[in-house]
Amino acid sequence: MKECNICHKPEVFIIVNTVDREGNVQELALCKDCAQKKGISEIKKIKLTPAEIIMKLQMTSDANDQKITCNFCNITWANFRTTGRLGCEHCYESFKNQLDSLIKEIHGATLHRGKTVTSGRKTTYDRFVIKKLTKQMRQAIQNEDYEKAAVIRDQITKIKKGIV
Amino acid sequence: MENNTFTIISRTIPYWLVSGAPFEDIVISSRLRYARNIAGYRFPNLASNEELGEIFEMARAALENTQIPLETEKIEFITVTEFTDLQGEFLLERHLISPDFLKKIKSREKDDKNKHLSTLGVFISNDETISIMVNEEDHLRFQVISAGLEFDKSFSKLNTLDDIFESTLRYAFSPQYGYLTACPTNVGTGFRVSIMAHLPGLVLTKEINQALNAIWQFNCLVRGLYGEGTETRGYFFQISNSITLGQTEQEIMQGIKNIITQLINHEKKARDFLLKTMKTELEDKVYRAYAILRSARLLNSDEALNLLATVRLGVATEILNEVSLTTLNKIMILLKPANLQIFYNQTLNPYERDEKRASLIRTILQESQN
């Protein structure tokens, strides 16, 4: 049970965010009486929403982190800070250090529990990926990049045989 | 198909709004959703039009290639890829797409150079209980909606649907973070439970802030009628889980169920209190609202929704017995600007809408009395 930060009564009526002169945000839990004394009569917002947590963390993000880039989709941590959206699944690996604390702040956990994917042949997916790779292979051949074309051809064979 | 489908849908009441649902006097609807992405493709905000087109075709193939029944009665899916702004708004008003998706529809029409390519679309079951948005914030957003406080049947439907897609597609998944999503607020289960509750008792007794305070304490979010960034109107509140990682889907549902059950009890107590202490004032409020709805010649949608919300309280507290919750639910959908226009199958300016809205509400209430 939470208690009032001022009189320590085991009753919390409202939680407010206070900002000091340095700009540090602090959470303050108050009972009804102390809230009234502080002139807080109306509850506006008690807890940050996930979107607000992202914004808050984005503001306090380390400048050095900003240039970190995802190898797959090429977005930077700074890009993510602006949009609040990641570019692809690989971003979770590329920005792991930064994301771990953000995810912990939002969810209070960093480990998934719940439904998981099942393995097995993914027919529709394979069909589309083979089509995509075939197009890339043709492009490579056209560019006379036979090495790349061979790599793609091997990838296609693997998918067809169900190895991947 | 589009125009016909929209007309057909607009003349019916969504299946999930029919009466007899658990706690329907307080909980309008329960919505469950999964966010999923396909491995190897950039998330929609970054994907090229070509990639988005492939995702859409993949989703279509995944749905068409499967024979797994969703439930005993046959569900057919309507595929919508071509929308006018009005049709997009119509779908939003019926909770079949999200405000973000509508924004995408609107911006696409202005600068889409690849109109031949379907990059954006939604699959809707003919009873409107299921919708699958393709290329919203995530590649796939599955949604199952039901009337009242009901999770079990919807959850099983949602999982079947997810399994159908997963049997032929490869999802972006990490053993640590679970299902990977464009926004870290959805990662993990990608599971969101949203309850639309009608809480006039708590609003009128001014206890609402305290109740919402409690909700926030339990990792839940409160939003307006159409989700994030929308206002609460007509005493309607949308409550959903804020955590999607670290808890199982069952734990998330149980958490929401506990909170909502408490909220229902508080709302019931507040209604009882109002009936005991200010019955005449409450009756006056309800009958005035009902009288305006039955006789007004011009009604804008905000006013109509607020009046309807008051009448709903009257019906739920048995002050008013002349109209059913189902009828009120039907009006609640049809009074919205886009639904009204598609119902009448014509474009109407705001004045004409207010006139038609008042006339339609009068007719429906008249018919329901006969």
Instruction: Please name the residues in contact with A14: beta carbons below 8 A apart, sequence gap of 6 or more.
Output: A29, A30, A35, A40, A43, A46, B213
* Average pLDDT per 10 consecutive residues for chain A, totaling 164 residues: 79 62 60 70 54 68 78 92 92 93 90 90 87 93 94 92 73
- Give pLDDT, residue A45: 47
Instruction: Say whether residue B170 is in contact with chain A using an 8 A CB cutoff.
Output: yes
Q: B42 and A116 in contact by Cβ < 8 A? A: no
Angle (nearest 5°) at CA B246 between B241 and B250:
60
Query: Two tokens at A104?
Result: 């912990």
How many angstroms separate the CA atoms of B365 and B334, rounded? Answer: 13
How many angstroms separate the CA atoms of A69 and A75, rounded? Answer: 6
CB A51 within 8 A of CB B223: no
Predicted ipTM? 0.87
How many angstroms separate the CA atoms of B78 and A137, rounded? Answer: 36
Residue B12 DSSP class: S
| Alpha-carbon gap: B249 to the closest alpha carbon of chain A (Å) | 6
How many angstroms separate the CA atoms of A43 and B156, rounded? Answer: 38
Q: B216 and A83 in contact by Cβ < 8 A? A: no
Prediction pTM value:
0.84
What is the maximum span of chain A, computed from C-alpha positions, in angstroms? 79
Q: Which residues pair with B121 in a beta bridge?
A: B134
- Give pLDDT, residue B41: 95
Q: Which of A50, A92, A132 sits opposite B177 (nearest CB)?
A: A92
Query: Could you give the 3-state DSSP secondary structure of residue A37?
Result: helix
- Give A73's contacts in chain B (Cβ within 8 Å): 42, 46
Query: Two tokens at B189?
Result: 């289960």
Query: Could you give the 3-state DSSP secondary structure of residue B96?
Result: coil
How many angstroms separate the CA atoms of B34 and B172, rounded? Answer: 13
Instruction: Say whether residue A96 is in contact with chain B using an 8 A CB cutoff.
Output: no
Query: Two tokens at A15?
Result: 């939680």
> Which parts of chain B sit beneath pLDDT 70?
1-12, 66-74, 109-117, 224-232, 370
- Give A159's contacts in chain B (Cβ within 8 Å): none
Chains A, B: CB contacts within 8 A come to 155
DSSP per-residue letters across B233-268? -TTEEEEEES--SSS-HHHHHHHHHHHHHHHHHHHH
For residue B311, the surrounding DSSP H or E stretch is helix B301-316
- Give pLDDT, residue B340: 93
Enumerate the H helices of B128-248 as residue ranges: 152-168, 200-204, 208-217
Give Cα separations from B108 to A88, A139, B80, B339 (angstroms): 22, 29, 15, 22
